[in-house]
Copies of this chain bind each other. A is one copy, B any other.
Amino acid sequence: MTDDVVTAAMLAIGDELLSGRTKDKNIGHLADILTAVGIDLEEVRIVPDEEDRIVEAVNALRVRYEYVFTSGGIGPTHDDITADAIAKAFGVPCEHDAAAMKLMADNYASRSIEFTESRQRMARMPRGSSHIDNPVSTAPGFHIGNVYVMAGVPSVFQAMVDNVIPTLRTGKKLLSRSVNCPYGEGAIAVPLREIQTAYPDTIIGSYPKYENGKFATELVIRARDEQRLAAAEAAVRQMVTDIALDDMR
């Protein structure tokens, strides 16, 4: 791993993702943003609202990747156990954060809503955490060490991600080019493998599409170096042309 590469994992927390009740939207969103800024998302896990499972996953991921991003489980109800689980993973107490308490107390006061004990639960975070601002609904996320803990509601998750991204170290972006190929994978596999072998510093992916009873392929070439990317892309486009010419003969 060089300075050019910054790695990350995501941990999506919630029974509702595993039961099918909720179709996750946060994984794809985070993947898009991280790719855009030059951070490589290398693993995702989804676990239920169970403390031991969250602790285990966080500890497995945080030693392996430079950043870990979590979604879900930071609300005020009994099934929101992420803050406690993260504290346990780091071996620190989970406690009401004074600055978060002040922020939320002021916000509820301004709306004439009682700042109940339940709502105060949302100000709890592992000792030593820093806030992640929440412009949507005030209660902050937090980060401790390399773990960034955010809400599961997509609008809040996205706002928190927007606040986190500028604070992160980023690597050299993995650039990508896409080539639409009107042939199925079986027709291109041999020459495509040769191109991949000839351009080992690129990553060439082949994605079959099955549309109207016919297979086609989207070929995606990725590289951190613009020139190598362009060279590999040209080779892929030439391959498609060669197959077309062959077909016409």
Complex copy number for this chain? 2
A93 → chain B closest CB, angstroms: 21
A19 at the interface (CB under 8 A from B): yes
- A 187-210 contacts with B by CB, 8 A: 188-190, 192-193, 196, 203-210
A227 → chain B closest CB, angstroms: 21
Please give me the residue from chain B that is nearest to A29 by CB atom. B20
Tell me the dominant secondary structure on chain A's binding face. Answer: mixed
A84 → chain B closest CB, angstroms: 14
A27 at the interface (CB under 8 A from B): yes
- B186 and A119 contact, CB distance less than 8 A: yes
Given A44-B45, A48-B42, A137-B210, residue A78 in contact with residue B16 (CB < 8 A): no
- A190 and B116 contact, CB distance less than 8 A: yes
Given A22-B207, A27-B46, residue A16 in contact with residue B220 (CB < 8 A): yes
A43 at the interface (CB under 8 A from B): yes
